[in-house]
Amino acid sequence: MTQNGDASPFKLFDVVSDHSDHAYAAASTAASKKQTYVGSVYKTIMKEWRILENNLPDSIHVRVYETRIELLRAVIVGAAGTPYHDALFFFDIMFPSDYPTRPPNVYFRSYGLRVNPNLYASGRVCLSLLNTWAGKKQEKWDPAQSTVLQVLLSIQALVLNEKPYFNEPGTGSPGGSAAEKKSRAYSEDIFVLTCKTTLFSLRNPPRNFEAFTAAHFRERGSRILRACGAYASGRVGVGYFRDESEACSASSATKARAVSVVSKRFKASMQELYPQLIQVFKKNGALLGDVAEVLAVETKTTPVKVKPVKIRVDRKGKVGIAKKVIGKLSKCFCLSKKENQKVANSSTQLAFL
């Protein structure tokens, strides 16, 4: 869909005019005038445009502005196999006047949510490539080689990843049982925030992305709702839902194993957000099919039924379970051998009744 709402596909890269809601629209007057970006800086920005136009993956869309060449806006679609799947994440970017000596300024449209250790609620993006986070020399911005495309791909692959808990320094590495447990709990919280991001995106989409946002969630709405149910019931780990069958590739099968314990807080959050998502998806025109109107979450507090113990005799005529039980009773009550034999004889008779 185009920004005018016609039926043509939404281009991966396009030039638009309205930059009024851009995070850097109110930059200094000197920096906002096209003539400021002249000579080598202007040529470098035009080169960046060509790189983006020819190399964007299907999961990233970019809009640049004809009257403000130093500004651009990008949206990244959350990847499958992560807690961010099917959601949209918007970034406003500005080239500094001495670009590429300095890296671009990047602002995350967070809607006030902290969805990742590297993405702050304030909009700050911490990334070595942007020189906003410590890193090795080869990870930092290189004026001779680094590009905006590399920044976007790094955010998609390294920030919005499978286990964002481990983005935080000091959390260790994936693999340890304690760390993995914390990672799963963190992913639960992140998925809740991702659902809230979806609500905000649909209710207030950024300019020039209104039609794209609506079309995206018309297509993905039912899948997001089914994922909510699967995660809240613990049938599959957060981030690993795969359509109706919840099927996973062989490489991720163990990661998508059923979760035996899902936090009460996560269940409550899902039950609260689910009807809101239903409402906004329907208003947006999504075809939800047989998706339930109410999220029914199975609880783990069903009454325990006590089954009677059956005493069996093995082939040699010895009492199996009864003999073991009697042995434990003898130790508990300090029965003598003679008393113990009387109890055993009476139990053996019961076993044959």
Active site residues: 126
Q: Which of 218, 211, 283 is nearest to 9 (CA)?
A: 211
Q: What is the DSSP string of 167-213?
A: GSTTS--TT-HHHHHHHHHHHHHHHHHHHHHHHHHHHSPPTT-HHHH
Locate 268 and state its tokens: 């409550």
Distance CA 231, CA 187 (A): 11
Q: Which of 136, 152, 124, 182 is nearest to 60 (CA)?
A: 152
Identity of residue 330 = S
Distance CA 44, CA 147 (A): 10
Instruction: Judge contact between 235 and 258, C-beta under 8 A.
Output: yes
